């Protein structure tokens, strides 16, 4: 298929683009490099740098009788819970307004398929665990609210304009694949931050909340390997049906507390990791664990890299390699 990938220089987008290229798809990436890296763009993809909505509108064109692309995978987004509480404008404009423009471009160009990066944050504080797609959506932060608003918009576009649409609700994506991993200018995610402590780049990790209603008092998340996530995108693309918008949760199905993640990082690196207790972070729910039963049953998806130590080991290898590369570049 000929595919337009927005955000393909970012972490998840670049791994998915790599896998799409490996399977013989033709990939055009649009990214404004606000959080992604040009280095992340996989070889073999055509890369256009600039505003996602503007470029997508140009690239998709307006001839619905002869669509130029078979589908769009829309990864480009603002995606930090804490930041979204402090700067919601960036999220409503950057996520919702951009995606509404993209949806119009998809409609006008007659592009048949859309796979959208949604999130577990659409559910908010769940009543029970694991979370299924039928559970109530009550986001506890603007990030989740913007992604949920987009999911609603996609649903109505799918029905009215015969779009074949899929929203994939990611839980906590981690790990690395073929030189693509978490490499953000401003890092806020747990696993890379803990590994930065191991690398000596950071003095200690702050544990945000030690009074959550969990076994060790720290928040529980479901860590999914980025390669498993990429596989789900390929399956979703194939399974999408005109006029339907399907939503799938994607996680490994097991929850790990912040302290358990720190222990896994200590095991993998063989290094002690200094940690301090800190207040809860605004917008964070206590526990987010996915039921991915629907994706397993309907898409034929099967997460393969579910061992937390193996996920951390891939992230660790990526960060060490990145350090070696930047050291070599400085010399």
- The SS3 call for residue 248 is strand
Of the candidate spans 186-194, 195-203, 228-236, 300-308, the one that interacts with ligand UDP by CB under 6 A turns out to be 186-194
Structural contact between residues 304 and 228, judged by C-beta atoms closer than 8 angstroms: yes
Report how many residues bind ligand UDP under the rule CB under 6 A: 15
Written as six digits, the tokens of 138 are: 């009550």
219 binds ligand UDP (CB under 6 A): yes
CB-based contacts of 133: which residues, under 8 Å, 6+ apart? 169, 247, 248, 249, 294
138 binds ligand UDP (CB under 6 A): no
Nearer to ligand UDP, 147 or 305 (CB): 147
Q: Which of 193, 199, 296, 317 binds ligand UDP (CB under 6 A)?
A: 193
Closest CA relative to residue 76, chosen from 145, 124, 146, 24: 146
169 binds ligand UDP (CB under 6 A): no
- The SS3 call for residue 134 is coil
81 binds ligand UDP (CB under 6 A): yes
Q: Which of 83, 228, 246, 284 binds ligand UDP (CB under 6 A)?
A: 284
How would you write 167-196 as a 3-class SS string? EEEECEEECCECCECCCCCCCCCHHHHHHH
99 binds ligand UDP (CB under 6 A): no
Report the alpha-carbon distance of residue 221 to residue 319 in Å, rounded: 22
Nearer to ligand UDP, 34 or 214 (CB): 214
201 binds ligand UDP (CB under 6 A): no
Q: Is 177 a catalytic residue?
A: no
Written as six digits, the tokens of 77 are: 């987004």
- Cα–chain-centroid distance for residue 122? 13
196 binds ligand UDP (CB under 6 A): no
Q: Which of 62, 93, 156, 188 binds ligand UDP (CB under 6 A)?
A: 188
What residues line the site for ligand UDP (CB under 6 A)?
Answer: 81, 172, 188-190, 193, 205-208, 219, 221, 258, 281, 284
- Which of the residues are catalytic? 143
């Amino acid at each position: 298929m000929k595919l337009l990938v927005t955000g393909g220089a970012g972490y998840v987008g670049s791994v998915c683009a790599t896998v799409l290229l490996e399977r013989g798809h033709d990939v055009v990436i649009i990214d404004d490099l606000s959080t992604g890296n040009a280095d992340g763009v996989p070889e073999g993809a055509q890369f256009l740098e600039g505003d996602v909505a503007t470029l997508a509108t140009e690239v998709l064109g307006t001839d619905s009788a002869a669509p130029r692309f078979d589908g769009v995978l829309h990864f480009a987004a603002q995606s930090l819970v804490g930041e979204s509480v402090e700067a919601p404008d960036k999220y409503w404009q950057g996520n919702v307004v951009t995606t509404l423009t993209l949806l119009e471009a998809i409609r006008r160009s007659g592009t048949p398929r859309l796979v959208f990066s949604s999130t577990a944050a659409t559910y908010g504080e769940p009543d029970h665990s694991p979370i299924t797609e039928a559970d109530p959506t009550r986001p506890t932060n603007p990030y989740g609210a913007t992604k949920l608003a987009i999911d609603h918009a996609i649903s109505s576009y799918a029905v009215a304009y015969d779009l074949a649409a899929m929203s994939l609700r990611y839980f906590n994506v981690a790990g690395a694949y073929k030189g693509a991993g978490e490499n953000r200018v401003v890092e806020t995610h747990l696993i890379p931050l803990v590994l930065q402590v191991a690398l000596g780049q950071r003095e200690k990790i702050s544990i945000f909340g030690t009074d959550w209603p969990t076994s060790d008092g720290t928040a529980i998340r479901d860590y999914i390997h980025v390669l498993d996530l990429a596989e789900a995108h390929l399956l979703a693309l194939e399974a999408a049906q005109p006029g339907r918008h399907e939503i799938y949760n994607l996680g490994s199905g097991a929850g790990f507390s912040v302290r358990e993640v720190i222990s896994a990082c200590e095991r993998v690196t063989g290094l002690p990791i200094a940690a301090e207790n800190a207040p809860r972070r605004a917008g964070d729910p206590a526990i987010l664990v996915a039921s991915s039963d629907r994706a397993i049953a309907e898409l034929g998806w099967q997460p393969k890299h579910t061992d937390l130590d193996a996920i951390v080991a891939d992230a660790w290898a990526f960060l060490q390699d990145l350090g070696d590369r930047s050291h070599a570049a400085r010399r």
